[in-house]
Amino acid sequence: MVLRLKQVNEQYINRIIIQKQQEKIDKEASEAAESAIKQSELEAEARERAIKIIERYKLNVDLTNKSLYEQKVAIKEALGVLEKGTRSYSIMKVQ
């Protein structure tokens, strides 16, 4: 009887340990999802601002299938600001 009770207690302790580990995994997964959502929102905002710059300065720039970095480079090239000492614009500051 004592041996059986000890086994039941060990199983219960193991379940508690597994549950705590699962809670930790769930929390980390939730944080990762929130981070991915925020990243997606920031990328969408940066793309919108890039479009505003193109429209404001009437640039002939195609952003299709370009990463954010490639878009930034294309816009800077169109504005002529890639060389040192020229005007500098920031996609994140134009509204």
What is residue 89's DSSP assignment? Answer: -
Compute the average pLDDT of residues 78-88: 63
Q: Is the pLDDT of residue 64 over 50?
A: yes
Q: Is the pLDDT of residue 92 over 90?
A: no
Compute the average pLDDT of residues 39-57: 96
Query: Rounded to the nearest 5 degrees, what angle is found at the Cα of 59, between the Cα atoms of 85 and 41?
Result: 90
Q: Is the pLDDT of residue 95 over 60?
A: no
- What integer best gives the mean pLDDT of the chain? 88
Q: What is the pLDDT of residue 86?
A: 46
Q: In the structure encoding, which two tokens stand for residue 81, read together?
A: 């600001």
What is the C-alpha to C-alpha distance for residues 43 and 63, in angstroms, rounded to an integer? 14
* pTM score: 0.67
